[in-house]
Structure 1
């Protein structure tokens, strides 16, 4: 199933995909200067806020959805009070004091319907609800209350850029941070960010980390073609995935946890079975797209970011060739291709109908994504794979073809 390529994709009309733009409220001359990049974009878990690292130390916390999707949005824009969800505040400007490289929302267990225990009392008072984590150039992590943008506390220990986060919000409330100092760190947010573990396994920069929906497994990716899978019980490496030919810079698990997508400077996105370590498919980004009339100064297909759709049927990738692609895993080819110069990151809204992308000039674009109506078979597979590993599925007394479908050998 390897070797899929997008050399002749059917290109979607960009105008029909583009929903809105966020433009920094600053001089356009600053867009070309170092530090202006949007390295992170994120939606809150309930979909009521959007966070945007617009460069020059600033993060914008914005009520979602935007008031008007038909015009470009600037930071001076005001929201209609009657257009906000209950309890929703207006836009907040957060000055982090350093360039922001990592950005992520997390929600405490009490907000997820779990009863707080006595040892969670302090967390309930201080950091219950939704928080925003920001990773900075100097290795510092700052946690902010949403929606007030109040600084909760700072986490110190990393010796270099903090690039990515993963939250665990089951009966625990923990934050995992990934840094260029080659380590991952596990922080207990119930104890004001007490450092629990330092995970060492990389020997070069760590670019990204992600955790499965059931919080049982962690993936971390970095330089030297490295993809590591960690147990979140023992905090040890389960396996190393081999297959990329360059630095691996992005990773994400599918919503049911049965698939893992990784993106690399080798111009490939690989979709894996994290339970077995098997490569299920390779999605290759071509290095030239003259047929698409794209000329943005790039001659490589270095992939910067990857993200699963909410149904788990599509994967979106952003690459240095100036294109945004939405891939069908069933067809193993792009079903949408649109120009996106200088793209650095991408993420889907919780409801899956909007894709946000950040760029090197500090801008954000939102794209309408037609949601795929899943088949009954896919719904059943999703439900099963949320609670069963590949090994457990293979032990089921069902026909071989059904097993192949359930373990994504057949889509």
Structure 2
């Protein structure tokens, strides 16, 4: 079965936007036969931009993935990938080093690698990972080994063909696609289904979160061994997603319990719980969260139809769109300014968010923290105020009980 996409008129796409909340700039809907439209299997569980932002992959339901040029969907370069099973995770690769690590490699005079072919990995319900040529839409090979559905995929951000996959079989697997995934490293020991994973910007570790578990798992990608758990005392807390900041010094984790959703910020080096953002609305959870490429924003999708974008360290949301419905996933464009979201009924939406020029202090902290751990910063002979800033402990000074754009039933709490 092959789906097509329907581009709705611009005027209709922008109806319902809240003033100052950001603009819905585009929405694409899949078109399927009436007998299957809206049934289980139509969900868009994942979307992704290519590392240079020129291509976009859309898991549009029923085992179909569309890959097209951004921002020109529906052109002659569109490819349809028939995966023959529900697609839960997808990721473009290889991912080049970010600007901090690229600068470090340049100083070390690491020779440049030849340009590699852009790949797209798709994780399926049957546990298979299919690896495609993203430009031609050709199936290159399958990766087999997971015993249950593959929920999340991520290439390491170091320019290599290393792919990390998380599965409901309670394992992470690390694949070398240069060797077509032969003899992957298996990271086992999770207490539940692996529902999300994130690789640190220096590719030294991977974080994973599980269903029915209140722990975050940190694993070494150098020795393929377990490092430590991050966990709160609340045994009712269930983790749903995670993502590293641009410099790797902060790990954001989305979770929920009977009281509502919670967004926790951790120091992965020391296991210190830095801060949390919490909503007291019951029966709500965070489905997906992502840091922006410049590290200035943290976007997350909640179950009660809200896309929120928080400017890191600020007291208000940069975007608080309550007009979204059935959203399941979100991701930033590599150059920022645009967020793509996928919905339960197979749609994708593109949102424009405010652009902010990074401050010099933000840039300096990011560059320093990419190369220097928390323990190393604390040992430096520098003023305590500067140590506090570099280790993100300045977040502990924030405390809010209310925020703009929230209803009277919703509150933000910062952990002190």
- Counterparts of 1:57-96 in structure 2, within 5 Å, are 57-66=63-72, 77-78=74-75, 90-96=77-83
- Partner deviation per Cα, 1:227-280 (whole Å, 9 max, x = no partner): 101111121111101126432121111112111111113311111111111111
The aligned counterpart of 1:292 is none
Question: Would the alpha carbon gap of residues 27 and 114 (structure 1) be closer, same or farther in structure 2, given more than 3 Å must change?
Answer: farther
The Cα RMSD (Å) is 2.2
Cα distance in 2, alignment partners of residues 161 and 311 from structure 1: 32
The aligned counterpart of 1:253 is 244
The aligned counterpart of 1:229 is 218
Cα distance in 2, alignment partners of residues 48 and 198 from structure 1: 33
Q: Tell me whether 1:173 sits opposite 2:161 in the alignment.
A: yes
With the length of structure 1 as denominator, give the TM-score of the two structures. Answer: 0.83
8 Å CA contact 1:311–1:372 kept in 2: the answer is no
Cα distance in 2, alignment partners of residues 274 and 227 from structure 1: 10
- Partner deviation per Cα, 1:333-379 (whole Å, 9 max, x = no partner): 42321122111100000001100111111101110011222211111
The aligned counterpart of 1:346 is 330
Q: Tell me whether 1:154 sits opposite 2:142 in the alignment.
A: yes
8 Å CA contact 1:305–1:319 kept in 2: the answer is yes
The aligned counterpart of 2:256 is 265
The aligned counterpart of 2:304 is 321
Deviation at 1:164, TM superposition (A): 0.6
The aligned counterpart of 2:376 is 392
Q: Tell me whether 1:103 sits opposite 2:90 in the alignment.
A: yes
The aligned counterpart of 1:43 is 49
Cα distance in 2, alignment partners of residues 352 and 211 from structure 1: 19
Deviation at 1:45, TM superposition (A): 0.5
Q: Tell me whether 1:378 sits opposite 2:362 in the alignment.
A: yes
Number of residues of Structure 1 aligned to a counterpart in Structure 2: 361
Cα distance in 2, alignment partners of residues 62 and 147 from structure 1: 9
Cα distance in 2, alignment partners of residues 31 and 211 from structure 1: 35
With the length of structure 2 as denominator, give the TM-score of the two structures. Answer: 0.82
Question: Would the alpha carbon gap of residues 322 and 40 (structure 1) be closer, same or farther in structure 2, given more than 3 Å must change?
Answer: same
1:138 is matched with which residue: 122, 126, 138? 126
Deviation at 1:12, TM superposition (A): 4.7
- Partner deviation per Cα, 1:186-222 (whole Å, 9 max, x = no partner): 1111111112311112121000111011100110111
- Partner deviation per Cα, 1:364-405 (whole Å, 9 max, x = no partner): 111001122221111111111111111111112110001111
What residue ranges of structure 1 are gaps of 5+ in the alignment?
1-10, 68-76, 80-89, 118-123, 288-298
Cα distance in 2, alignment partners of residues 109 and 349 from structure 1: 15
Cα distance in 2, alignment partners of residues 149 and 172 from structure 1: 21
8 Å CA contact 1:130–1:146 kept in 2: the answer is yes
Deviation at 1:331, TM superposition (A): 2.2
Cα distance in 1, alignment partners of residues 294 and 383 from structure 2: 25
Aligned structure 1 segments of 4 or more residues deviating by more than 6 angstroms: none
Deviation at 1:28, TM superposition (A): 6.5
8 Å CA contact 1:202–1:226 kept in 2: the answer is no
The aligned counterpart of 1:86 is none
1:331 is matched with which residue: 314, 327, 332? 314
The aligned counterpart of 1:277 is 271
Cα distance in 2, alignment partners of residues 271 and 137 from structure 1: 31
8 Å CA contact 2:319–2:353 kept in 1: the answer is no
Cα distance in 2, alignment partners of residues 264 and 60 from structure 1: 30
SS of residue paired to 2:366: helix
8 Å CA contact 1:250–1:305 kept in 2: the answer is yes
